[in-house]
Protein backbone atom coordinates (compact mmCIF):
# COMPACT_ATOMS: atom_id res chain seq x y z
CA UNK A 1 0.00 0.00 0.00
CA UNK A 2 1.49 3.32 -1.09
CA UNK A 3 0.49 5.89 1.53
CA UNK A 4 1.40 8.87 -0.65
CA UNK A 5 -0.70 7.78 -3.60
CA UNK A 6 -3.77 6.98 -1.55
CA UNK A 7 -3.64 10.15 0.53
CA UNK A 8 -3.11 12.31 -2.56
CA UNK A 9 -6.12 10.74 -4.29
CA UNK A 10 -8.34 11.49 -1.30
CA UNK A 11 -6.90 15.01 -1.02
CA UNK A 12 -7.49 15.72 -4.72
CA UNK A 13 -11.04 14.41 -4.50
CA UNK A 14 -11.69 16.58 -1.45
CA UNK A 15 -10.20 19.62 -3.17
CA UNK A 16 -12.36 19.08 -6.25
CA UNK A 17 -15.45 18.63 -4.09
CA UNK A 18 -14.63 21.76 -2.09
CA UNK A 19 -14.12 23.80 -5.25
CA UNK A 20 -17.40 22.55 -6.70
CA UNK A 21 -19.30 23.56 -3.57
CA UNK A 22 -17.33 26.80 -3.08
CA UNK A 23 -16.33 25.87 0.48
CA UNK A 24 -12.59 25.38 0.00
CA UNK A 25 -11.66 28.23 2.35
CA UNK A 26 -13.73 26.82 5.22
CA UNK A 27 -12.47 23.31 4.54
CA UNK A 28 -8.89 24.61 4.47
CA UNK A 29 -9.29 26.08 7.96
CA UNK A 30 -10.78 22.83 9.28
CA UNK A 31 -8.08 20.66 7.73
CA UNK A 32 -5.36 23.02 8.94
CA UNK A 33 -6.62 22.80 12.51
CA UNK A 34 -7.03 19.03 12.24
CA UNK A 35 -3.47 18.68 10.96
CA UNK A 36 -2.16 20.74 13.87
CA UNK A 37 -4.15 18.66 16.34
CA UNK A 38 -2.92 15.38 14.88
CA UNK A 39 0.66 16.62 15.00
CA UNK A 40 0.41 18.03 18.51
CA UNK A 41 -1.44 15.11 20.11
CA UNK A 42 -0.06 11.71 19.07
CA UNK A 43 -2.59 10.03 21.38
CA UNK A 44 -5.34 11.27 19.06
CA UNK A 45 -3.81 9.40 16.17
CA UNK A 46 -3.49 6.26 18.29
CA UNK A 47 -7.13 6.53 19.30
CA UNK A 48 -8.21 6.86 15.67
CA UNK A 49 -6.20 3.78 14.71
CA UNK A 50 -7.77 1.74 17.52
CA UNK A 51 -10.10 -0.84 15.89
CA UNK A 52 -12.16 -1.22 19.08
CA UNK A 53 -13.29 2.43 19.13
CA UNK A 54 -16.69 2.84 17.42
CA UNK A 55 -16.94 4.96 14.26
CA UNK A 56 -19.22 7.52 15.96
CA UNK A 57 -16.62 8.22 18.61
CA UNK A 58 -13.89 8.49 16.00
CA UNK A 59 -16.06 10.90 14.05
CA UNK A 60 -16.68 13.08 17.10
CA UNK A 61 -12.96 13.03 18.01
CA UNK A 62 -12.03 14.21 14.52
CA UNK A 63 -14.68 16.93 14.52
CA UNK A 64 -13.57 18.25 17.91
CA UNK A 65 -9.94 18.22 16.77
CA UNK A 66 -10.85 20.18 13.63
CA UNK A 67 -13.43 22.73 14.79
CA UNK A 68 -13.28 22.61 18.56
CA UNK A 69 -16.67 23.27 20.14
CA UNK A 70 -18.10 24.58 16.87
CA UNK A 71 -20.17 22.65 14.39
CA UNK A 72 -18.34 20.92 11.54
CA UNK A 73 -19.36 21.94 8.05
CA UNK A 74 -21.37 19.65 5.80
CA UNK A 75 -18.49 19.04 3.39
CA UNK A 76 -16.06 18.22 6.17
CA UNK A 77 -18.55 15.88 7.86
CA UNK A 78 -19.29 14.04 4.63
CA UNK A 79 -15.60 13.59 3.88
CA UNK A 80 -14.78 12.28 7.35
CA UNK A 81 -17.74 9.88 7.15
CA UNK A 82 -16.45 8.54 3.83
CA UNK A 83 -12.95 8.19 5.27
CA UNK A 84 -14.23 6.25 8.28
CA UNK A 85 -16.42 3.98 6.14
CA UNK A 86 -13.44 3.10 3.96
CA UNK A 87 -11.27 2.52 7.07
CA UNK A 88 -8.71 5.15 6.02
CA UNK A 89 -8.50 6.99 9.35
CA UNK A 90 -4.86 5.95 9.69
CA UNK A 91 -4.09 8.10 6.62
CA UNK A 92 -5.86 11.20 7.93
CA UNK A 93 -2.66 13.12 8.77
CA UNK A 94 -1.24 12.49 5.29
CA UNK A 95 -4.51 13.42 3.63
CA UNK A 96 -4.61 16.68 5.61
CA UNK A 97 -1.07 17.58 4.60
CA UNK A 98 -1.75 16.73 0.95
CA UNK A 99 -4.93 18.80 0.93
CA UNK A 100 -3.15 21.76 2.54
CA UNK A 101 -0.44 21.57 -0.12
CA UNK A 102 -2.98 21.44 -2.94
CA UNK A 103 -4.92 24.37 -1.51
CA UNK A 104 -1.79 26.48 -1.06
CA UNK A 105 -0.69 25.75 -4.63
CA UNK A 106 -4.07 26.68 -6.05
CA UNK A 107 -4.28 29.92 -4.04
CA UNK A 108 -0.56 30.86 -4.41
CA UNK A 109 0.17 30.77 -0.69
CA UNK A 110 3.73 30.36 0.55
CA UNK A 111 4.66 29.01 3.95
CA UNK A 112 7.38 30.20 6.25
CA UNK A 113 8.57 29.42 9.75
CA UNK A 114 10.46 31.91 11.88
CA UNK A 115 12.29 30.62 14.96
CA UNK A 116 13.73 33.18 17.38
CA UNK A 117 15.15 33.15 20.88
CA UNK A 118 12.79 35.91 22.05
CA UNK A 119 9.27 36.86 20.93
CA UNK A 120 9.03 38.94 17.75
CA UNK A 121 6.86 42.06 17.67
CA UNK A 122 3.73 42.06 15.55
CA UNK A 123 5.04 44.80 13.27
CA UNK A 124 8.30 42.91 12.66
CA UNK A 125 6.32 39.80 11.75
CA UNK A 126 4.21 41.87 9.32
CA UNK A 127 7.35 43.36 7.81
CA UNK A 128 8.85 39.91 7.26
CA UNK A 129 5.57 38.69 5.77
CA UNK A 130 5.39 41.63 3.36
CA UNK A 131 9.02 41.29 2.24
CA UNK A 132 8.78 37.54 1.65
CA UNK A 133 5.41 37.98 -0.03
CA UNK A 134 6.81 40.50 -2.50
CA UNK A 135 9.85 38.30 -3.23
CA UNK A 136 7.78 35.18 -3.92
CA UNK A 137 4.80 36.97 -5.48
CA UNK A 138 2.51 34.98 -3.20
CA UNK A 139 0.55 35.46 -0.02
CA UNK A 140 2.52 34.21 2.96
CA UNK A 141 1.60 32.24 6.06
CA UNK A 142 4.24 32.71 8.73
CA UNK A 143 4.44 30.51 11.79
CA UNK A 144 6.56 31.93 14.59
CA UNK A 145 8.23 29.84 17.27
CA UNK A 146 10.33 30.71 20.28
CA UNK A 147 13.31 28.46 20.98
CA UNK A 148 15.79 29.70 23.61
CA UNK A 149 18.26 26.99 22.52
CA UNK A 150 19.31 29.04 19.48
CA UNK A 151 20.67 31.64 21.94
CA UNK A 152 20.02 34.59 19.63
CA UNK A 153 19.48 35.47 16.00
CA UNK A 154 16.88 33.59 13.98
CA UNK A 155 16.16 30.63 11.74
CA UNK A 156 13.90 31.35 8.78
CA UNK A 157 12.46 28.48 6.72
CA UNK A 158 10.63 29.53 3.58
CA UNK A 159 9.22 27.08 1.04
CA UNK A 160 11.86 24.46 1.75
CA UNK A 161 14.85 26.82 2.05
CA UNK A 162 16.53 27.66 5.35
CA UNK A 163 18.35 30.79 6.44
CA UNK A 164 20.08 30.00 9.71
CA UNK A 165 21.47 33.11 11.41
CA UNK A 166 21.36 31.75 14.94
CA UNK A 167 24.12 32.27 17.46
CA UNK A 168 24.16 28.55 18.30
CA UNK A 169 24.91 27.62 14.68
CA UNK A 170 27.61 30.26 14.37
CA UNK A 171 29.26 28.97 17.55
CA UNK A 172 29.20 25.42 16.15
CA UNK A 173 30.87 26.64 12.95
CA UNK A 174 33.62 28.44 14.88
CA UNK A 175 34.17 25.35 17.04
CA UNK A 176 34.42 23.18 13.92
CA UNK A 177 36.93 25.60 12.38
CA UNK A 178 39.11 25.35 15.50
CA UNK A 179 38.93 21.57 15.44
CA UNK A 180 39.84 21.44 11.74
CA UNK A 181 42.72 23.88 12.22
CA UNK A 182 44.11 21.91 15.18
CA UNK A 183 44.00 18.66 13.18
CA UNK A 184 46.25 20.15 10.55
CA UNK A 185 48.78 21.20 13.18
CA UNK A 186 49.09 17.74 14.75
Question: Structure pTM?
Answer: 0.79
The answer to whether domain 3-105 and domain 109-185 are alike in fold is no
Name which of 20, 2, 19 is nearest 105 in CA terms. Answer: 19
Secondary structure (H, E, C), 17-75: HHHHHCCHHHHHHHHHHHHHHHHHCHHHHHHHHCCCCCHHHHHHHHHHHHHCCCCCCHH
At 79 the pLDDT is 93
CATH topology of domain 3-105: Peroxidase; domain 1 (1.10.520)
Classify domain 109-185 by CATH number: 3.30.360
DSSP classification of residue 147: -
At 141 the pLDDT is 87
Q: Are 150 and 117 in contact (CB under 8 A)?
A: yes
Phi-psi region of 151 (alpha: psi -120 to 50; beta: other; left: phi over 0): left
Q: What is the pLDDT of residues 93-106, one digit of tens each?
A: 999 999 999 999 99
At 69 the pLDDT is 81
Domain boundaries, the chain: 3-105, 109-185
At 135 the pLDDT is 85
From CA 96, how far away is CA 11, in angstroms rounded?
A: 7
At 186 the pLDDT is 57
Mean pLDDT by 10 residues, the chain (186 residues): 82 93 92 92 89 91 87 89 91 93 91 91 90 87 90 88 90 90 73
Q: State the Rg of the chain over Cα.
A: 21
Amino acid sequence: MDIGTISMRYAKALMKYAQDTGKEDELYQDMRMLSRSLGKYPDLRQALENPVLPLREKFSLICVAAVGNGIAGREFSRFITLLLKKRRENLLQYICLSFLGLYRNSKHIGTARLVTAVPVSREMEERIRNMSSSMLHARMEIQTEIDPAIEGGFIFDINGYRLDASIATQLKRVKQQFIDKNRRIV
